[in-house]
Amino acid sequence: MPVKFSVLPDHNLVLVTFSGMVTLAETTETFDRYSSHPDAHPGQSHLVDLSAVTEYERDFTKIMALQAHQVDVFLEADAPIYLIFVAPTELTRTMAMAAVRSWQNLPGVIPLVLTSLDEARAVLSLEERDLEPRGEPAAQR
């Protein structure tokens, strides 16, 4: 599966990693698994690593439906969440900017596009080891 996630409760963060061809069906399925994960809760920021993406589905109607679904989870928080995209290539920046534009005017979500995980760690004040999954079963990723 070209999308996986790790909940990092110590940092109130979800690391989402995409690779290869990204489809909206797999993205939606993974988001649903995240939202039912025992460590998931409103207010968690998301670090979305697009570094290994080679292509993505461009069905904007489905993209908007996915984001409408995500709003229910993201906007339950008492404080804004960060939605940080790591997008080092032109393709991944285009993908990230499509998402950022749709989140920009919503209170409660602060979208940001960066070019590397190092930049993201700096913004989040994290060490490299902080982004390593901690013994989660493979089925939860």
Strand partners, 110: 82
90: tokens are: 């032109």
Cβ contact 109:74 at 8 Å? yes
Q: What CATH number is associated with residue 130? A: 3.30.750.24
Give residue-wise pLDDT tens across range 35-87: 999 999 888 999 999 999 999 999 888 888 888 888 878 878 788 899 999 99
Asked if residues 10 and 121 have their Cβ atoms less than 8 Å apart, the reply is: no
Domain range for 76 is 3-140
Angle between helices 60-74 and 24-35 in degrees, nearest 10: 10
Q: Which pair of structure tokens corresponds to residue 29?
A: 């399925």
The phi, psi pair for 51, rounded to 5°, reads -55, -35
Which tens digits make up the pLDDT trace of 87-118?
A: 999 999 999 998 888 888 888 889 999 999 99
Number of other residues whose CB lies within 10 A of the CB of residue 54 = 13
* Helix/strand/coil percent split, the chain, to 5: 40, 30, 30
- Answer whether 0.75 is exceeded by the pTM: yes
CA 56 to chain CA centroid, Å, is 15
Could you give the number of structural domains in the chain?
1
Per-residue pLDDT, 137: 43
Is 112 in a helix, a strand, or coil? strand
- Give which of 34, 43, 110 is closest to 66, Cα–Cα: 34
